[in-house]
């Protein structure tokens, strides 16, 4: 057993067109996986696929038809990485039904439908498999103006545990990575403000901004044989944001 190798394994990564999904795809390529990159931006994916010797699949998690077609075209998959996700920041009382539905559909319903289809095919094939969901700091914490996103990321964390329990009999390990503050297109504008960086330094033990490449190695490990006895876990990659606090006190010499 080569604990960190993905040689001979096929990995389907959603949200692979940029950000955390692209970093995971690159790291899995380095670890030897055959990659299937999925997102809505097909032209972008085609360029990346050529670079990584991968296949590109158009996937819109807001469309059941698109999800079914992508799952069909993907064929045999050993590793499913559910990265694609969106966020809309608003006061809870101001969310429109349309915004609520869009976030729920992308982050939960679409993920569920794809995981059902890919998981069913893993079960029928009988070779086991790995499912890695991307949660968030919001899987653990409540933050203001993120209520609907938080609701979806809590659901992703709980689905991870339930599926780990249910699919262990098929040798499918299901885990969730909960990234903290990672600079991507999802939040770049928000982090421009100086007081945001100061606030982060005050609450996070390892106080720098995270990068997508900080998240990718854990995804490789959770996809590789070395993690075969790890399932149902929500593992944070957040510089300590979910587990530590800072305070101004220093003990006397
Ligand atoms: P990002 O740069 O905005 O990337 C989002 C990805 O999701 C893109 O590849 C996008 O591709 C894809 N996507 C969006 N809507 C889609 C849809 N309807 N169907 C298919 N693909 C769709 O964001 P990111 O920061 O890398 O986020 C990736 C994941 O990490 C998300 O689940 C996010 O919630 C989670 N996360 C991020 C952070 C952070 O600080 N950045 C922290 C915790 C968790 P197309 O536009 O090409 O479809």
Cα–ligand 1 centroid distance for 253 (angstroms)? 47
Number of domains in the chain: 1
Verify whether ligand 1 is closer than 6 Å to residue 40 (CB atom): yes
Give the nearest ligand 1 atom to 45 CA: 47
Q: Which two tokens stand for residue 160?
A: 């991870």
Q: Which two tokens stand for residue 77?
A: 């998959």
244 assigned to some structural domain: no
Q: How far apart are CA 246 and CA 22, in angstroms?
A: 32
The arithmetic mean of pLDDT across residues 118-128, rounded, is 98
247 assigned to some structural domain: no
Verify whether ligand 1 is closer than 6 Å to residue 157 (CB atom): no
Classify 55 as helix, strand or coil. strand
Q: How far apart are CA 25 and CA 225, in angstroms?
A: 18
25 assigned to some structural domain: yes
Q: How far apart are CA 109 and CA 32, in angstroms?
A: 31
The answer to whether 118 and 73 have CB atoms below 8 angstroms apart is: no
24 assigned to some structural domain: yes
Give the nearest ligand 1 atom to 186 CA: 3
20-29: per-residue pLDDT in tens? 999 999 999 9
Q: What is the CATH number of the domain that holds 62?
A: 3.40.50.720
252 assigned to some structural domain: no
Cα–ligand 1 centroid distance for 22 (angstroms)? 10
Give the nearest ligand 1 atom to 17 CA: 9
108 assigned to some structural domain: yes
Q: Which two tokens stand for residue 99?
A: 């915004």
Cα–ligand 1 centroid distance for 182 (angstroms)? 11
37 has a pLDDT exceeding 70: yes
Mutate to test the pocket of ligand 1, among 13, 14, 15, 64 (most ligand atoms within 8 A of CB): 15
65-115: per-residue pLDDT in tens? 999 999 999 999 999 999 999 999 999 999 999 999 999 999 999 999 999
Q: Are strands 79-82 and 234-237 parallel, antiparallel or unpaired?
A: unpaired
19 assigned to some structural domain: yes
Verify whether ligand 1 is closer than 6 Å to residue 15 (CB atom): yes
195 has a pLDDT exceeding 90: yes
138-164: per-residue pLDDT in tens? 999 999 999 999 999 999 999 999 999
Question: What predicted TM-score, i.e. pTM, was given to this entire model?
Answer: 0.98
Cα–ligand 1 centroid distance for 128 (angstroms)? 27
Verify whether ligand 1 is closer than 6 Å to residue 179 (CB atom): yes
Per the prediction, the chain carries an average pLDDT of 97
1 has a pLDDT exceeding 80: no
Q: Find, among 17, 132, 12, 23, the residue nearest to 86 by Cα.
A: 17
Give the nearest ligand 1 atom to 107 CA: 32
Q: Find, among 77, 53, 148, the residue nearest to 106 by Cα.
A: 148
Residue 243: partners with Cβ closer than 8 Å, 6 or more residues away? 205, 236
Verify whether ligand 1 is closer than 6 Å to residue 184 (CB atom): yes
Verify whether ligand 1 is closer than 6 Å to residue 18 (CB atom): yes
Structural domain span for residue 206: 10-237
3 assigned to some structural domain: no
Residues with active-site annotation: 149
Cα–ligand 1 centroid distance for 3 (angstroms)? 28
Within the chain, what is the greatest distance between any pair of CA atoms? Answer: 66
- What's the confidence (pLDDT) of residue 248? 87
């Amino acid at each position: 057993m080569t604990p960190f190798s993905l040689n001979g394994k096929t990995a389907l990564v959603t949200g692979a067109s940029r950000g955390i999904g692209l970093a995971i795809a690159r790291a899995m390529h380095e670890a030897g996986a055959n990659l299937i990159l999925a997102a809505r931006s097909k032209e972008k994916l085609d360029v990346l696929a050529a670079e990584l010797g991968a296949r590109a699949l158009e996937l819109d998690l807001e469309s059941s038809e698109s999800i079914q077609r992508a799952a069909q075209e993907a064929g045999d998959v050993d590793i499913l990485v559910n990265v694609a996700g969106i966020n809309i920041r608003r006061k809870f009382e101001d969310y429109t039904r349309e915004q609520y539905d869009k976030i729920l559909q992308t982050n939960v319903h679409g993920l569920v439908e794809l995981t059902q289809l890919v998981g069913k095919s893993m079960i029928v094939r009988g070779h086991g498999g790995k499912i890695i969901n991307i949660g968030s700091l919001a899987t653990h914490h409540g933050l203001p103006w993120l209520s609907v996103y938080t609701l979806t990321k809590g659901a992703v964390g709980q689905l991870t545990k339930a599926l780990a329990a249910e699919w262990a009999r098929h040798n499918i390990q299901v885990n969730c990575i909960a990234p903290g503050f990672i600079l991507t297109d999802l939040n770049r504008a928000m982090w421009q403000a100086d007081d945001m960086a100061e606030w982060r330094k005050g609450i996070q033990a390892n106080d720098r901004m995270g990068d997508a490449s900080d998240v990718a190695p854990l995804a490789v490990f959770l996809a590789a044989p070395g993690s075969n006895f790890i399932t149902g876990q929500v593992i944070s990659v957040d510089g300590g944001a979910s587990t530590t606090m800072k305070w101004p006190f220093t003990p006397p010499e």
